[in-house]
Structure 1
Amino acid sequence: MSKRINKESILRASEIKQQLQIEDFEKEISALKKEIYAHSETPSQGDSSAAERTEVLQRYESELGFLKDELDFLDRIDTDSEISEIGMGAVVITDKKNFFVSVSIEQVEVNGIDFFGLSTKAPIFQVMRGKKSGENFDFNGIHYKIKDVY
């Protein structure tokens, strides 16, 4: 790739995307809590919808905690380190997609270029880990050529 996108810009875009997800979950949790606790009467044992809403609330709160942990993780990534092989904090430019090895984030756009946040727990990372510019890898029947790693 002739012109590299600044890694700090990719990280900041990833943090913003993560923060927006956190805010969405917080809004959903707040609305769900209002719905659950708005009724002054105690639901009967046969009221399965209240139990289902409470279960959903617990799942949302758990996911919110996970998202906050990932945001904290993003905050600890060193964007100044020199990286020549695929590992944590690497930007990976391939002929198919561009990745930012960090946490699982759908996609962020920086200067008109899309980057996909990639967790080190993702199966594709296990295949590409340790590879360098100019190398290739295959995942799910797709062949990738690595153009740049930084």
Structure 2
Amino acid sequence: MHSRPSKGSILHACIIKQQLTISDFEKEVARLKAEITTKDESESQGGRGTSEQNDLLIRMEHELLFLKNELMTLENIDSSLSCDKIEEGAVVVTDQRIFFISTSIESVDVNEVSVFGLSTHAPIYTEMKGKKKGETIQFNGLRYRIIDVY
């Protein structure tokens, strides 16, 4: 394995990934709003498609709000704090993968190391919470040995 990525580097990569995801969602919401507006102005279109698009727009706006809240969670993590047990803000190195306890983010690559963003609401977090280096976690038939927590 490559050198251990710093918590600051991991947090920075997660924030950038979240910002890019939010940007993509904002563009899609704007596109959908423009499409709905265009259809509303055209009397030759039936109302059904617009209703489905309105439902999609509402779902996307809710997801966008969720993503922005997740970004705030990331921005509130102090990367200078060291953790000796698994809690929000901890980097957890296991024999299977590296987790960053923060928000649900697909893996990010930091210095050629893949780190998986894990929400405190994820079921596996319930099994991990409070554990320390040297302990093990059982989840979905997999066993994770905790190599390091920082």
TM-score by length of 2: 0.94
Matching residue's letter, 1:97? R
Identify the residue that residue 25 of structure 2 maps to in structure 1.
Answer: 25
Structure 1 position 34 matched with structure 2 position 34: yes
Identify the residue that residue 143 of structure 1 maps to in structure 2.
Answer: 143
Q: What stretches of structure 2 of length at least 5 have no aligned partner? A: none
Distance in 1 of aligned mates of 2:103 and 2:62: 17
CA-CA distance at 1:43 after TM superposition: 7.4
Distance in 1 of aligned mates of 2:129 and 2:44: 52
Residues 2, 22 of structure 1: alpha-carbon distance in 2 compared, 3 angstrom cutoff = closer
Distance in 1 of aligned mates of 2:72 and 2:124: 23
Matching residue's letter, 2:6? N
Alpha carbons 1:43, 1:50 under 8 Å: kept: no
Distance in 2 of aligned mates of 1:81 and 1:28: 37
Structure 1 position 91 matched with structure 2 position 87: no
Alignment RMSD (CA, Å): 1.6
Matching residue's letter, 1:122? A
CA-CA distance at 1:2 after TM superposition: 8.5
CA-CA distance at 1:3 after TM superposition: 3.9
SS of equivalent to 1:79: coil
What is the aligned-residue identity percentage?
50
Alpha carbons 2:78, 2:89 under 8 Å: kept: yes
CA-CA distance at 1:131 after TM superposition: 0.6
Alpha carbons 2:2, 2:112 under 8 Å: kept: no
Residues 139, 58 of structure 1: alpha-carbon distance in 2 compared, 3 angstrom cutoff = same
Distance in 2 of aligned mates of 1:80 and 1:115: 18
Deviation readout 1:39-86 (Å, 9 max, x if unpaired): 313577x63211000000011011101101111111110111121000
Distance in 1 of aligned mates of 2:2 and 2:57: 47
Distance in 2 of aligned mates of 1:70 and 1:90: 16
Identify the residue that residue 101 of structure 2 maps to in structure 1.
Answer: 101
Q: What stretches of structure 1 of length at least 5 have no aligned partner? A: none
TM-score by length of 1: 0.94
SS of equivalent to 2:20: helix
Identify the residue that residue 68 of structure 1 maps to in structure 2.
Answer: 68
Deviation readout 1:1-27 (Å, 9 max, x if unpaired): 884311000000000010010011011
Deviation readout 1:83-105 (Å, 9 max, x if unpaired): 10000100000000110000010
Identify the residue that residue 121 of structure 1 maps to in structure 2.
Answer: 121
